[in-house]
Amino acid sequence: MDSLQSILGSRDFKPPSEMDAIRDYIKRRYKSSCKIQLQRDSIIVTVATSALAATLHLERRGLIAACNLNKKLIIRISG
Predicted confidence pLDDT, tens digits, the chain (79 residues): 677 777 777 777 676 788 999 999 999 999 999 999 999 999 999 999 999 999 999 999 999 999 999 999 999 999 7
Please compute, for residue 76, the number of CA atoms within 13 A of its CA located in the half-sphere on the CB side: 11
Sheet (strand 34-38) strand order: 34-38, 42-47, 72-77
| 24 found inside a domain | no
Determine phi and psi for 33, rounding to 5 degrees: -100, 165
Note whether 44 and 13 are within 8 A (CB). Answer: no
Enclosing domain of residue 74: 29-79
| 41 found inside a domain | yes
pLDDT at 15: 67
Please give the model's pTM, rounded to 2 decimal places.
Answer: 0.78
| 53 found inside a domain | yes
> Could you give the number of structural domains in the chain?
1
pLDDT at 56: 96
Q: Cα 42 vs. chain centroid, distance in angstroms?
A: 10
| 15 found inside a domain | no
| 12 found inside a domain | no
> CA 71 to CA 75: how far, in whole Å?
13
